[in-house]
């Protein structure tokens, strides 16, 4: 499980945009987003590529942990 802190998500549209960005890299990944905490959990994939895709969608990303 990959966990990323994603800043700038404020609404359902943001959730959809981040999910879409993840699925462009890892189509079969399960994506769980806690909008209030700004936390994105992804079932699989390359963390750096996923973070890059989310950043390209317009959100600041940093690893958790």
Q: Which domains does the chain have, with CATH numbers?
A: 2-63 (3.30.70.100)
Question: Considering only CA atoms, which of 57, 44, 64 is closest in space to residue 13?
Answer: 57
Low-confidence ranges of the chain (pLDDT < 50): none
pLDDT given for residue 65 in this prediction: 64
What dihedral do alpha carbons 38, 41, 42, 45 form, nearest 10°? 80
Provide the token pair at 22.
């993840």
| Radius of gyration for the chain, computed over Cα atoms and rounded to the nearest angstrom | 10
Q: In this predicted structure, what is the pLDDT of residue 23?
A: 97
Query: How high is the pLDDT of residue 33?
Result: 97
* Interatomic CA distance for residues 7 and 44, integer angstroms: 21
């Amino acid at each position: 499980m990959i966990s990323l802190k994603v800043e700038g998500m404020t609404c359902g549209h943001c959730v959809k945009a981040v999910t879409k960005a993840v699925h462009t890299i890892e189509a079969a990944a399960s994506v769980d987003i806690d909008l209030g905490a700004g936390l994105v959990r992804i079932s699989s994939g390359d963390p750096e590529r996923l973070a890059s895709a989310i950043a390209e969608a317009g959100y600041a990303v940093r690893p958790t942990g």
